Chain A
């Protein structure tokens, strides 16, 4: 009996924590379908009573939601593709190719993990200005690629080292050159590492605020996290519409997580571990 009571108490505790984790998001989704009257007084906690879709229309029309969404998608997509490619090539050269400075170069590439963005940002603003890219999405894509390189190279280094060295030997006997060997034979074997790094970099760049906020000034270049900030000022009193905008911005990562939870958890913990 005491044992069952203890178990019940533990369940209640865990459920309360789960509720605290989840309910704010449910509250946000509910609010996105309510008018202010419901949100503020008549129906604070529960399901919306008459699905007020106008909030989504205001979020999309009065405000540049589609533009911000598009910018975020471009930034995240390009950043993922180039970071993975550049990081992978670097790790391959340092993990499997034979040259004197391989190890020194690899270690040089890891130092970035211990560098917080705060100590980079001021000179970075000047660099972006000097490169004359401040009026293009490249002004944040290039820094995002650089920020994620150390992490990417570490993950790929580990998986390249775990492959048997006979692979290149066999390929070279078959007459394949180094590029064919790398792209056709080695890459397909490190797909799990590609998934881990791609997910981590995607979420990172989709959600990044600090660098984007400091570097981007043009409204036309704002990414979602940045665009949402100015929504808050403009529509501070219209909680329904702002909840709709927050919901739109949150759906892609949440849906992605629900479909690939194992990989996302793995990517975020590996990423965090490597960064810590």
Chain B
């Protein structure tokens, strides 16, 4: 027994493919990105050290503040759609007293968009948002509201784009929250019902505090996912109109892969990751401060 499980050669063979691939493709690039953010570098010729200049230039880049702001808006929109709608649906479908039928069907409907490629979702919604022929503008015409430039109005575009992301992934959040609620022991609810608490009260006092650990995970996903947004605007608006749907990832993509400023792109990637870490820490600090065990 001892021999079998502590055989050095076997351990080496089992571990080495993972370590090599993972170190080379995941860990090494992270250090490279951080280091190269202090260099002027075009990806071809030798990089030259310029200290904090990339970061300084970033702060005065006219795309920087809009990108930061759009990341926040994107995160806020998908937070409301995913966590808000997801929670309401999960509470309704898991409340015993309501005895709602068809929960399997609803669950499947909410979830289906999550298995699609963002390419499909982006193009489908670009057609639906289309000014002249889009489904939504046709429908709005039907109920007597004028046409809306969902993707062409600079004020509206970021909300329209963010909504499609929320639409796609709300179902995952729903299943998450619903599963967490279902795992709460039945006795908690029985005791509360005997004490005469109303369903709304029970949810506020029992369900929500008990799934706080789940919220920590889902909140982090929505917020960091929103801050990192790129694919949806890349497909639907190209960052426009103007820079109305630019984000930090877009800024990185443009500087590195369209203008060949690799060092500058690295600096924006570092800022983005620092921002995500900050929000992850904040969520961990303020959601579910007391661990509840049952």
**Contacts A97-B11, A123-B28; A246 near B120 (Cβ below 8 A):** yes
User: Which of A48-56, A57-65, A104-112 lines the interface with chain B?
Assistant: A104-112
Alpha-carbon gap, A20 to B256, bound state (A):
37
B111: nearest residue on chain A (CB-CB)?
Answer: A265
B270: nearest residue on chain A (CB-CB)?
Answer: A119
Q: Is there contact, CB below 8 Å, between A118 and B123? A: no
**Contacts A109-B18, A272-B176; A209 near B116 (Cβ below 8 A):** no
Please report the total number of A residues contacting B with Cβ < 8 Å: 97
Please report the total number of B residues contacting A with Cβ < 8 Å: 92
Chain A residues with CB under 8 Å of B120's CB are: 28, 225, 228, 246, 249-250
**Contacts A86-B18, A269-B175; A126 near B119 (Cβ below 8 A):** no
Closest chain-A Cβ to B274's Cβ sits at a distance in Å of: 10
Q: Is there contact, CB below 8 Å, between A116 and B276? A: yes
Chain A residues with CB under 8 Å of B228's CB are: 116, 118
Alpha-carbon gap, A225 to B34, bound state (A):
30
Q: Is there contact, CB below 8 Å, between B138 and A115? A: no
Chain B residues with CB under 8 Å of A145's CB are: 21
Q: Is there contact, CB below 8 Å, between A17 and B110? A: yes
Chain A residues with CB under 8 Å of B33's CB are: 119-120, 122-123
Q: Is there contact, CB below 8 Å, between A40 and B123? A: no
Alpha-carbon gap, A149 to B43, bound state (A):
27
Chain A residues with CB under 8 Å of B113's CB are: 21, 24-25
Chain B residues with CB under 8 Å of A94's CB are: 15
Closest chain-B Cβ to A72's Cβ sits at a distance in Å of: 9
Alpha-carbon gap, A191 to B179, bound state (A):
22
For window 43-96 of chain A, which residues contact chain B by CB distance below 8 Å? 44-45, 86-87, 89-90, 92-94, 96
Q: Is A242 in contact with chain B by the CB < 8 A criterion?
A: yes
Q: Is there contact, CB below 8 Å, between B123 and A242? A: yes
Q: Is there contact, CB below 8 Å, between B114 and A268? A: yes
Closest chain-A Cβ to B127's Cβ sits at a distance in Å of: 6
Closest chain-B Cβ to A257's Cβ sits at a distance in Å of: 5
B228: nearest residue on chain A (CB-CB)?
Answer: A116
Chain B residues with CB under 8 Å of A154's CB are: none
Chain B residues with CB under 8 Å of A124's CB are: 25, 29
Q: Is there contact, CB below 8 Å, between B273 and A118? A: yes
Q: Is the interface of A mostly helix, strand, loop or mixed?
A: helix
Q: Is there contact, CB below 8 Å, between B43 and A118? A: no
A225: nearest residue on chain B (CB-CB)?
Answer: B119
Chain A residues with CB under 8 Å of B26's CB are: 112, 115, 120, 146-147, 149-150
**Contacts A119-B33, A253-B116, A269-B176; A93 near B111 (Cβ below 8 A):** no
Chain B residues with CB under 8 Å of A92's CB are: 14
B1: nearest residue on chain A (CB-CB)?
Answer: A169
User: Which of B56-64, B185-193, B202-210, B261-269 lines the interface with chain A?
Assistant: B261-269
Chain A residues with CB under 8 Å of B107's CB are: 265
Interface 0/1 of B189-225, CB less than 8 Å to A: 0000000000000000000000000000110110010
Alpha-carbon gap, A239 to B4, bound state (A):
62
Q: Is A232 in contact with chain B by the CB < 8 A criterion?
A: yes
Which of A45, A119, A172, A249 interacts with B1 by CB under 8 Å?
A172
Q: Is there contact, CB below 8 Å, between B15 and A93? A: yes
Chain B residues with CB under 8 Å of A256's CB are: 115
**Contacts A209-B119, A228-B117, A273-B217; A21 near B109 (Cβ below 8 A):** yes
A7: nearest residue on chain B (CB-CB)?
Answer: B98
Which of B114, B133, B175, B220 interacts with A39 by CB under 8 Å?
B133
Which 3 pairs show the lowest CB-CB distances between chains A and B? A146-B25, A123-B29, A90-B18
17 example contacts (A-B, Cβ-Cβ < 8 A) are as follows A17-B110, A24-B124, A116-B273, A127-B24, A142-B21, A207-B119, A210-B231, A214-B257, A224-B117, A225-B120, A228-B123, A232-B235, A246-B123, A265-B107, A265-B111, A268-B175, A269-B175
